[in-house]
Amino acid sequence: MRKAIVGLLILAVIGALGFWGLTSPAAYALIRGNAQASSDAPSSSNRQPDLENGRTLFFAGGCTSCHAVPSQADKLRLGGGYALKSPFGTFHVPNISPHKQDGIGSWSTADFVRAMREGVSPDGRHYYPAFPYVSYAKMPEADLQDLFAFMQTLPAVEGRAPDHDLPFPFNIRRGVGLWKLAFLDGTVFTPDPSKSASWNRGAYLVNGPGHCAECHSERNAAGAIIEDRRFAGGPDPEGRGIVPNITPHPSGIGGWTADDLTTLLKTGETPNFDTVGGPMGAVVANTAQIPDGDRQAMAEYLLSLPARQGFKKPE
């Protein structure tokens, strides 16, 4: 009996050490690091940031939609505080203004790149994937530098959001390391040479900074996107009904033209003379700020997606 108990204790210790090792941010970097490094452009640490490109990426990413102070007229005040409800609990969106203590004003560019690529904070903690770094990881280093530089020009906002309100076991942040090993591949967007420059630009904006699939896709029990349901819509994670299908299927945007979709991304108007509202209204407030060519590129890409039947709520 004593030997059995000792054996179980040894196995428990080995299991705990294995969990601790595999869930370390350093473990993810070691396992996925080579894939990241091989898919990125050469280091651009000495280049001067392009603030105009950073501004475009900022609005393409819809940063104000989640991070602006709720009920604040100035959407460039990124003090956070929005309560994002999900099946895993409530996430309180953080301050990402350039405030030195409460925001990201004391971060280095390398800190920002690591957060966006690997979902790791400057002090070495995992971020929950409610922060859509699975999509942001597709952004090359130069674009992330530009985005960070633009964000540093915005107003510094005082105040911190409350801690996340998550039940066990989701409140064990360390466990996110296993989720990353399963679902965060960390590869940067690679253009398809068989497609046009505008198609590739649209593919990058939609899948990278725009992170459109993060809302418009059905997810599995672990909260990861189901690949064959990407862009086909799904349950709103905040419990507000169904997020629409944005593939060219009759249940989605089938029958729409590129002009129809470009107009929606600029004005919020649909081909049937309706207007989008709610979270998509906030998205349009951002995409209205990007160049016309980028909206057209996003439309071109979305209309080229495989047509998929939209999500149907189980009866």
What pLDDT, on the 0 to 100 scale, is given for residue 15? 43
What pLDDT, on the 0 to 100 scale, is given for residue 5? 56
Longest dimension (CA), the chain: 76
Q: What is the mean pLDDT of each run of 10 residues along the chain (315 residues)?
A: 53 45 59 48 69 98 93 91 92 96 96 95 94 96 97 96 93 90 91 97 98 95 94 85 93 95 96 87 95 98 96 73
Boundaries of every domain in the chain: 42-174, 197-302
What pLDDT, on the 0 to 100 scale, is given for residue 207? 97
What pLDDT, on the 0 to 100 scale, is given for residue 186? 85
